[in-house]
A and B are shown apart, each in its own frame.
Chain A
């Protein structure tokens, strides 16, 4: 079969399969709207806090009203003791407790040691950091003001007080690339690539498995499979993956207003390489499974380990070396890093060299494996 005939036949087979056309064409768009939904608000907001105000002074009420103005938290009532609110914190109904102790205002004015305490819950670490960070910043501000009042009482010169009041911060934490620190910008940029890989692997492996079952298709329905037939089939499958990748890095990132387009040319070239790799792996898996449904069963459950293995959520430095080595076999490992670096971070081609080499090696490996797997299956028939 000629290259073009194999290519067209594969495209037609994918689009005519009434069960799988959804996977080839519609599943990625569906996921692209559905998956980012939880992160659409981008910044943590409205996390419920309970205030235990044992001081009931103008100063403590001032603290509460300042906390009420923090967008990341929401004052969700008050309690008369930490124990009373503790149950709600333990069962996850609230995210934190702010305790203003008895006589706080008086002690603060006198310089008697006292403290406002914020309790977060380590059962939800992301939320905990948001609560301690935002509430902590408000309280640090209050503490600094109280300290200024005390220093003035001690008779520090007004000029010095003014100077220290006007002094800028000692430390600035400036985000790069994801300038708004959007949670969706971070998660979806990574998981989007995984969604494309998983959906496309399922679709391709399932179609190849179906061909094997029925001894049909370009790979199993022809008297012989030459280079041109194989290449045409591979490139037809890769075309679907390529379009899905373009859809994500072009439309989805724009639609959700995520950081994007840092190195568009590089991203296009990397998408070609990634698409060929995923298509090869899909053919290899399909020829191995030899079954229409197996790919769904096997691949559905791999998404969670894959996203963590790529090292963007949980750093590679913290993972055991054998797991990092194993992760190099998954296209999303160089894929997610490579695309985030190109699209979001604007890396140059030479700056994604490790990802390029990893992906190129995987393409070689999986192209050979898919060719070998197809050959083996056909040989088993003729024997």
Chain B
């Protein structure tokens, strides 16, 4: 649309759209780049599970039982026996070069000593520098060894009579039952993609909004911008940020639709409340951008601050390392980041079937991340647009 002659909201909007048409880079940063990144992240974790993780086996026992253990390990979902080494020394280079994630050592006389009730342990040396993989490998090897131990315990219990069935009942009479609720299969797609897509969108939205505002100061085009708005900063901001807000609200809803619809994890709580929450996160992103530009009146500095404040937010949010486990300073800083507050709201409504009251409790601090940045940022911007001497900072 052509820029209307009369200043007003439509004129600002038209000016912004015209800029995006003329500057393919800015359009790409606003739209194509985030959209492509979301698809990339989604694709990255689309397998959902980690399977076929290569390990090495050192079988010094060469017994029927040790071969059975190797067979059971190979039969697990997570493991693939990539190397059969004659000794631990021979297996080491395979670990150091990253060919395998760990070595399972079955000691000599393992079967014989087990039958004599003097069992020797099977030892897994896992590469703890790859923490998540080491956890999967450890779990699967442990499960294979446990199944062997259980079999021999059964055989030994059967001596007390009643055959294997009775023995199993007696052995299993008292159990420790470990259950995972909400995402019980621990799908890595739901985990990583589910947490990374919203935070990536949050970051992209801050960058795009900082760029849209900061550009006017960098280019010393504040006069033209305000002129199109008839001198009103409110109208100038609304017209400039409306296309951006529309794009990000749509992308945010697309993220929700992707998980709840396409990828098949319907919201256990309320789909509507989840959508409201992610929409609010986008508004928060815009408010933070207004604060960052207001504080700095410099596109580059505002972007650097976004790098420290927003891009590191994931680490402090408790998405992997729980917040309760962090030191006080890290917990405190995490509390000052919007994503930390958004995450439990999303997980509660999406996976956890949390009640609306829990949602409302989680949303209250999120709304503060709109109010406080605007209360500080808007007056700062208002002052800066009247001080041409401060424009043009690079």
Contact = CB atoms under 8 A, between A and B. Distances in A.
B54 A317 contact: yes
A204 to B, nearest CB: 14
Interface in B293-307: 298-301, 303-304, 306-307
A200 to B, nearest CB: 13
Interface string B125-144: 11111111111001101100
A179 B176 contact: no
Interface in A61-119: 72, 74, 87, 89-93, 95, 107-108, 111-119
A150 B170 contact: yes
A173 interface: yes
A319 interface: yes
Contact of A351 (B33, B96, B128, B182): B96
A150 B324 CA distance: 39
Contacts of A308: 41, 44, 192, 196
A347 B44 contact: no
B37 A305 contact: yes
Interface in A115-155: 115-130, 132, 135-136, 139-140, 142-143, 146-147, 150, 154
Contacts of B351: 121-123
Contacts of B203: 300-301, 304
B96 A123 contact: no
Given A92-B347, A136-B178, A320-B44, A179 B300 contact: no
B234 to A, nearest CB: 26
Question: Which of B53, B177, B306, B329 has the most CB atoms of chain A within a 10 A radius of its CB?
Answer: B177
A168 interface: yes
Given A177-B128, A345-B96, A346-B96, A168 B119 contact: yes
Contact of B325 (A45, A168, A296): A45
A209 B27 CA distance: 19
Nearest to B347: A123
Interface string A280-307: 0000000000011110111011111100
Interface size class of A (residues with CB under 8 A): 35 or more
Nearest to B319: A124
A132 B121 CA distance: 22
Given A186-B128, A305-B41, A136 B322 contact: no
Contacts, number: 366
B33 A301 contact: yes
Contact of A170 (B146, B173, B325): B146
A298 B361 CA distance: 35
A189 B129 contact: yes
Given A92-B344, A296-B300, A345 B179 contact: no
Nearest to A130: B322
Contacts of B192: 308, 314
Nearest to A179: B128
Contact of B353 (A90, A143, A150, A296): A90
Given A38-B334, A92-B348, A122-B183, A139 B176 contact: yes
A318 interface: yes
Contacts of A117: 177-179
Contact of A345 (B127, B184, B214, B343): B127
B237 interface: no
A347 B127 CA distance: 13
B387 interface: no
A296 B304 contact: yes
Contacts of B1: none
A52 B223 CA distance: 65
Given A44-B325, A147-B171, A300-B306, A37 B129 contact: no
B266 interface: no
A170 to B, nearest CB: 5
Given A19-B301, A47-B325, A115-B177, 15 more contacts: A91-B352, A91-B358, A119-B181, A121-B352, A125-B183, A125-B186, A170-B121, A171-B146, A186-B128, A300-B303, A340-B129, A341-B98, A347-B97, A351-B93, A354-B98
10 contacts: A30-B308, A38-B321, A117-B179, A122-B190, A171-B123, A173-B126, A293-B211, A293-B299, A345-B96, A345-B129
Which 5 A-B pairs have CB atoms at the shortest separation, nearest pair first? A122-B183, A139-B176, A90-B352, A175-B128, A91-B358
